[in-house]
């Protein structure tokens, strides 16, 4: 299966350039889907795009077009358990992972593909939410990139009023009772899809009605690529990984992170804390933005991606 063509989907009338998708396999046998958008002109380097939880490669076609038009190739991945990569539970609608470190197995396959494709250097990291958590861990493991950009990185989870230790304890107890693969309350609908279940006015992702409608159409057209809530196992492993990363020093690499003023999914304090102790890094706070600045209104989206390009150019 390794290297064989994989499907890449587009809605009718979508004018954006499609990616070249292909299959690979992690060392533990999980099937992974990767995709490459070559640079439209020139070769200024390449971007490794790490999506967030529940996401799939096609969601970033617009971001990829912006970057490829600027001369960067883009390589992305469906993490294990989501998109068209192998699902990990009998209930394919539930987000789950055995160990959070398993995502680093996926990163390894992404790097193997980057080398096999002779992806133009320098390489840069662009990540969103859970991808920012995976990305920070990968940087500590030696991810060979010249710079790192994070959109609302999941360096902590917004637990509302629940203490962090209590949440970890509940997830641990659920695992001990054999319920680690069951839906965790508050993580989203186990059987539904967030954009299909939520109204635009109440959604936590974007204030852009056009982007919301696109996500809605994709979820309705491609239900097999969507994901519902998270398992107790995923929640517990994610909280522990965020805690582990919080105790590590910041990597010696130029970095940029965005934080929306209306962020309600990840921990704003964890992002501010990390960026305050990352020498030379820039925190871009956008008061009107929600969780997904790369799916936000055109001017906010362009401001963030333009700042990322400036970082890439400076690091190169």
Instruction: Give the residue extent of every domain in the chain.
Output: 20-315
Q: Which of 261, 311, 313 is nearest to 150 (CA)?
A: 311
Pick the CATH number of 20-315 from 3.40.50.1820, 3.20.20.150, 3.20.20.10, 3.10.180.10: 3.40.50.1820
Are 81 and 158 spatial neighbours (Cβ–Cβ below 8 Å)?
Answer: no
Question: Residue 279's pLDDT band (boundaries 50, 70, 90)?
Answer: very high
| Residue 60 DSSP class | G
Are 309 and 126 spatial neighbours (Cβ–Cβ below 8 Å)?
Answer: no
Separation CA 77–CA 269 (nearest Å): 28
Find out whether the peptide bond into 122 is cis, omega within 30 degrees of 0.
Answer: yes
190 pLDDT above the threshold of 60: no
Could you please report the per-residue DSSP string of 211-228?
HHHHHHHHHHH-GGG---
pLDDT digits (tens, 9 = 90+) for 64-121: 999 999 999 999 999 999 999 999 999 899 999 999 999 999 999 999 999 999 999 9
The CA-based dihedral angle spanning residues 218, 223, 225, 230, taken in that order and rounded to the nearest 10 degrees: 110
pLDDT value of residue 161 = 73
Separation CA 76–CA 92 (nearest Å): 21
What average pLDDT score do residues 43-64 get?
Answer: 97
Question: Residue 184's pLDDT band (boundaries 50, 70, 90)?
Answer: confident
């Amino acid at each position: 299966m390794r290297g064989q063509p994989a499907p890449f989907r587009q809605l009718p009338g979508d004018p954006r350039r499609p990616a070249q998708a292909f299959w690979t396999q992690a060392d533990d046998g999980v099937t992974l889907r990767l995709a490459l958008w070559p640079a439209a002109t020139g070769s200024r380097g390449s971007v490794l795009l790490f999506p967030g939880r529940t996401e799939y490669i096609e969601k970033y076609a617009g971001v990829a077009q912006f970057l490829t038009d600027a001369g960067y190739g883009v390589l992305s991945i469906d993490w294990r358990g989501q998109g068209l990569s192998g699902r990990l539970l009998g209930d394919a609608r539930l987000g789950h992972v055995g160990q959070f470190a398993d995502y680093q197995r996926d990163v390894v396959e992404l790097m193997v593909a980057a080398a096999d494709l002779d992806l133009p250097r320098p390489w840069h990291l662009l990540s969103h939410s859970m991808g920012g958590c995976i990305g920070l861990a990968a940087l500590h493991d030696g991810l060979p990139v010249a710079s790192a950009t994070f959109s609302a990185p999941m360096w902590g989870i917004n637990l509302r009023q629940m203490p962090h230790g209590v949440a970890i304890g509940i997830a641990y107890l659920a695992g001990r009772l054999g319920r680690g693969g069951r839906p965790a309350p508050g993580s989203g609908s186990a059987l539904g899809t967030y954009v299909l279940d939520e109204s635009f006015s109440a959604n936590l992702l974007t204030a852009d009605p056009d982007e919301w409608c696109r996500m809605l159409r994709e979820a309705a057209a491609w239900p097999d690529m969507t994901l519902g809530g998270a398992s107790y196992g995923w929640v517990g492993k994610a909280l522990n990984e965020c805690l582990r990363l919080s105790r590590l020093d910041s990597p010696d690499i130029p970095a940029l992170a965005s934080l929306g003023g209306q962020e309600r999914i990840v921990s704003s304090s964890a992002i501010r804390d990390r960026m305050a102790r990352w020498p030379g890094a820039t925190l871009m706070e956008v008061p009107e933005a929600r969780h997904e600045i790369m799916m936000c209104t055109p001017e906010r989206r362009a401001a963030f991606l333009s700042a990322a390009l400036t970082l890439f150019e400076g690091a190169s």
